[in-house]
Structure 1
Amino acid sequence: MPYSYPPTLDPVLNLEKPVKEWSITRILLLLGTPLVAGVLLVMTVSTYRISSHYLNRAYARNAHTRALAQAHELQQLLKDARYEIQNLARSDVSAQAIQKYMMDKPATKRNKYCEIAFHGTAPQDNYVLLNTGEKVWKVPDEQAAGVKFGAFTRRERIGGKIEDFVQIEQPVQAYYTSVPYLGSVENIEFSVIRLSTPVLDAEKRFRGYLTLSVDIIEIQRIMTTFSSRQSPLYIFPQEKEQVRSFFFDAAGWLICETGQAGNPHLKISIDDIRTGLQGDLGRPGFATAFRPNPQYEKYWAVVSAVQAGKDGEIGFANFLNDPSNTGGDHYLYYVPIRFQEEATGNPVILGGIGCIDTSFMLKASRYEVAMALGISWFVALLLTIAAFVYLNRRISNPLKRLASATEQIAMGDDAATLELAPLPKELRHLQHVINILLLQLQTARNETRIRQGLIFDEMQRQPVSLDALAENASSKESSRCAEKAFGIVGSSQAVRNLNAMIHKAAQVMADVLIIGETGTGKELTAEAIHRAGTRATGPFISINCGALDENLLMDALFGHVKGAFSEAKTDRKGAFLAASGGTLHLDEIGNASPKVQQSLLRALAARRIRPLGSDQDQPFDARVVAATNVDLLESARNGKFREDLYYRLAVITISTPPLRDRREDIPALVRSFMREHTRGTTPPDISRGALDKLLQHDWPGNIRELKNCITRAMTFAEGNLLLADHIEFGQNRAAGPASEPATAQGPAVQAKTPAGSRNGSSPEPLATTTPEGPQSPSAHTSSALPEAVLATLNPRQVKAWPSIAANGGTNRALYESAVGEEISVRTAQYDLQDLVNKGLLKKTGKGPSSRYVVAGRTP
């Protein structure tokens, strides 16, 4: 039987035809492939030799960089501790203040420090604080004095250096007994580095020394991190690297070494690094320290270099005495640890960091590079063959691509054309004809879309009847009854539930807590409770607890007697007494300070108050209705609000629904706001498109935002129809809560006449009462600011603003002079900061050089 060649290889391997007649595929396969393979082989060998050379240099530099990075992190840890102790020394150094300050810090930052001690000139000022992780514990004085190597043991001090000086001590171990830890009492040993600085009073008199102890476990954690996969310098898997770091003091004592990666409970130890070595174990103050014998000359050469402030590397025999690493490279990279005791002096050498590298990484890296280059060479050959297959398919695929692209364009809405290239001449002509057909198709689609758009626009411009929408939502009579009874517009289920809660709450004399987002009508709800109850004939007093500072709010609530302070010219009743027989509304109760909360709790519990400067308690007969837009229980859990005050206020809790939960009330609200804006005249109509735009908005500002939106649209709209283009959202949000008008909740106490007066007219505001005395509503007006912004300012700010605007800015002294009244420094600072919060002023400088510049001007 005759043999025959496989027919699939014959078209490619047939060499009978001349080279000029070969196909492109055959030329690339028989000539291009060997050429590419040879070039790639030369490049592979050259790349391997060059990469091996630079890999050797790079790996040595990386190991040295690891040691430098660890030293930098340790120095940064000590620098942060220096800043921390200086900050503590300049503030209140009492034990309670230090405890509160440390507990307010995040646990990751607080747990860097173990001890905080103050050794004052007066023995009764001495104290020692221990940080056990879960709390900062004050050590009893007799126990602190008896601790060996404790914070008071060494009193070798600074001499004539007082200011801006932080002394650092060598590592030491302190043992404390009976320390509360994790719910039990245990004996705890701390390994620390202590930093001490003098403490001066306001007259620069020496008060004593403040000591802050840095936990050496933090140093061990840094070294462990840089020897693990979490290292910032991580390049290769750390299992192939045998890298260990150790920390030693200036005298050559080994203090700690790298711990086990991933272990959250590290323990100070040098057991691994001293295995097989001879030397001294334990020095005074640090029982676990180890110092090798003088026979280890290279180690002591490293210590001498560190003492001189030098860093570098040194090669030596197996320092760790590990038989498994006898064939590896052995290098020790060392860097000194410096600490700046004085701001302008030379840093002291605390000790050094040593990084031992006994790995096979360089040799393993070369193997991996060679393997990678070999795989790359093989893959390149496969890609070359794959390219030949692509050339074969390139001839038959253009028709398929042309058909697929035509179908996509014809089924889509984009006015696109076929631009496939490169194509043969015949297919280019076909592509041109297809583009003509696609253009005609798109023209017909555009005409249809224009007609549909015109019809839709006409529908959106048609006016809608808000009265009809309100009637469809609920009966017209019931809606009017609700508005007449409580002044709350709407007939949704949420509003009906709110009206029912108001009616029930008004029938009893219990205190009420109103919870709701900003702009949901919390104050209107409070007034409704007042008007619907038996106290409707009494006064309704509203106090904004977030608009006044602590002293002004205490004075506004509880009043004062004549002579209670320098500005108390007459007696002042206060809001609790002024609201007797009526209702006291405490708005933004969640912003009250702890002192105000405590006073409110006492007043609500005893139903008696004591004005400032008085020795007698006075009973009050006022119903308290509080309001807030924050979660008071969450604030109580965070320590910002008293939980007992919350339960005292929340006898009855009413939630005001946000506008997004009662969208069916938007037509009725829009109708009410439009009638209010037109004031008796016929309000304009609203188009369907504008109403749809209002119904689709989320309303983060709730009813207040809706009212502002309608007012803005009616102000700038032309004609008797509000269109969708007239509705704009979010233009006034940049000003924030500080820019909201203070008509109902400003920095003053607003007294209103009781609802249901004899003439049936709406309530009128009485004189606005401030700590400086009664003010007329029209006093101190200024044309330099819009009325909406002017309404948010208190009388002092209104009076001083012309002078501030004329000078382009002010400071505290100039502001007091511009006000023209004897106001306290705290009041002036509060007014200026309030103007900064409102965006009218910008604060520059710090301390005595602080200046407040008009916003928009260059200071």
Structure 2
Amino acid sequence: MGIKLLNGGVMEAREAFSFSSFRLRTKLWMVLIPAVVFILVVTGYLTHWFSSRFLEEAVRRTVLLQTLGAAHEMEQFFDRCREDVLWLARSGLSEEEVERFLAGKRSIRGWTYAEAGVVFPGEGRTRVWRPAGGALETVSTDHWAGLWDGVPMVDPVKGGPGSEEGGPWISRVVPAVWARGEGSVPPGQVTHVIRFIAPVGPWGGSGAGGPSPRGFVFLSVDARQVRDILSLFNSAQSPLSGYARSPELRYMYFVDPGGWILFQSEDQPRSPAPLGTDLARWNLSGTFGRPDLKSAFRPDIRHRDFWLMAGDLREGRHGVLIRSVEPHEKTQVDRVYLGYAPVRWHADGKAEEGSVYGGVVFVDRSRLITRAGYRQVDVIFLIGIGSCFLLSAIVWEVSRLVTRPLYKLARAVDEIQESGRLQPLSIPEKDLETAFLKDAINNLIVRIREQMETIEVRDRQLQETLMRERISLEQEAAVLQRERRQMPEALSKLVGRSPAMIRLRDQVVRAASADADVLILGETGTGKQLAAEAIHGLGSRRDKPFLAINCGALDENLLMDALFGHVKGAFTEAKTDRKGAFAAAHGGTLFLDEVGTASPKVQKALLRAIAERRIRPLGSDVEQEVDVRLIAATNEDLQDLVRRGLFREDLYYRLNVITLRTPPLRERREDIPLLAAHFLDEACRRIKRPPVGLTQGALDALLAHDWPGNVRELENSLTRAVAMVEGSWIYASDLGLGGTGDLPEDGKDGKTANEAASDAPGGSNGFPEAPRPGGGDSLPPLNARQARALPSLLARGHMTRSEYQEAAGGIPARTALHDLRDLVEKGLVKKSGRGPATRYKVVNRKT
């Protein structure tokens, strides 16, 4: 007993703290606040992800800009040197001219060349001038061949660059040794220079004795001058520096085409420090030093990033490599950017041409992305706190405004319950929802009063009828269960024991074993789609998609779009790509219902798709291969349509590979008890009510009815009866079969759909007969969907769009809106309300 009490208390506590027991305000808080927090977290993460990518791209472009700027400045420096050596080659080449030239460059540029000289190989003479203080120092040497170190294509016989090149030329970084007198080398007179060489005529011009031998003039630039360009662009005084950078370790270095790192930038321009590569070779292994430059460094081949850059530089390409590294304890830098750009030598002065002299590499470190991430987290946190407070206040006020009218309605309903008087509510309306709820309660009150009157009438009728015979369908239910257990699940929905149904199931099994297209013929409501689903479920494609398209429920353009899809921009509303049914059912089965209603344009497209198994979406120029098994169904005589020219003969023979016919219900009346047991069980389970039985009179009415709508009409009649019956038994009067069956199709029994709709009687189900719209004697032309939904529209007096979809046979929303607009234009209905409150009311309905 104690355990039971404890369990009961636990259950009561759970019910007391269940979500459904909370107030609206609490529910809104419990749902909205976590949702807002989740949205903020997701938004923050996505924003951080995208901003990180953009920031990374910004840093990458900044690095590339600095690198390209340094490389361009170095090329401009070389071009100025090229112009100077060419000018000097055309001058008099006297000592005064050279001194004036070097002094002018110092006054204009603030620096001058490390040396200038001329070489006459034929005479074996060399003259070299070197600035020393404010004057020139003449240095003579007999070893003029050493001046060509580092110059490509040297001809040792002619004593100069190869004859195939017309100059000017540039050397690599080489040591310059100046000697006086007997060639002694004073300490401190060795430096590294880059020489610029140009061909020149004889010293002092042509003589009277004929042409003089060919000579060369050269200018040498201290390599530290070139290094200053890298130091400038790596410093805060860089001409491309747009904002202050964090104090991270950054440096540039120069690489020759052979992969040798020759020198690196210094902290400040014009540094007197010798050339070095300490930072550039940090964390790298390789060859250190070469005969002409002791500080040069060449990394091993295993340093792939370096040799990737060196390869791109040799090809004249620039770029940026981004590498992630372990964050430093102090700086938290986790990314290294390696920007590289080639430096070209333009011998002919053309900017678009030139050979690769070397390359500039910029090593940059940035913690911009990490710092931005921290700031973003702070901002998202503050926004989240503020949003939660603001949302709480909004929920409090909104819930108070929303629940106040509901409390008033609840109190009014309680008063009705206490007084027992069914009087309509008359409270002031505060909003549209409250008005709808009040109208619904008042309609319910009116309906209850009507039902109470109807109950009184039925009570009198029941008193007059002492007993009506009742039958049991338990045997049919047992047979149905046994048959379902014995047959595959895919066939379980094809209910029936008649020879026609046994033959149909046998044909379905045989059709499923052959992977060929199938044509299913049969009247409306005979189970053509169930047969198609059974063929798919038993076939080899059972694990692939099964798609069903109702060709009669869509107009031509919508059907083409539904079948073949479209690409973005194919028409005004095509905002995204859409797969058609053929593409969506790839590998599976595509079921086309009411294929006989397809327009000639759709028939032509279907023929091509079936024949070639290729489709082309609307607006696309690319064809797609599809692998689908096609199952078509129709309730029309396709051969008659072919004879009348309404259906393509070639398409008919393409579809007519395997043909099945679903029998109408009137040809297998012996299955009606079994079907009745099945549908009653389904209806009770769906409506969630206790089992309902049939009286003998009801069963006789089912067996005697012609069932123009076949099995679908039978199912609808029984479902309607189960929903409307008040007791546990269905009588003949509950079925409403006195001419209230499904609407006949166009042309059936010599009547059109409009005539059939106008002849449909009422009153058998307890509702008044529906009048014609406008009170006229004739209706304008209607399509099959409008004619099917018209009786329900007349009976209700008004409909929403979703109700029209259901009444017209489950058509798409766009087709329903098209039909309703057409009815408005024809004057049958009028539109009222906006948004979810939109309704379509019958015009001038007589009550």
TM bin, normalised by shorter chain, reads 0.3 to 0.5
TM-score, normalised by the number of residues in structure 2: 0.35
TM-score, normalised by the number of residues in structure 1: 0.35
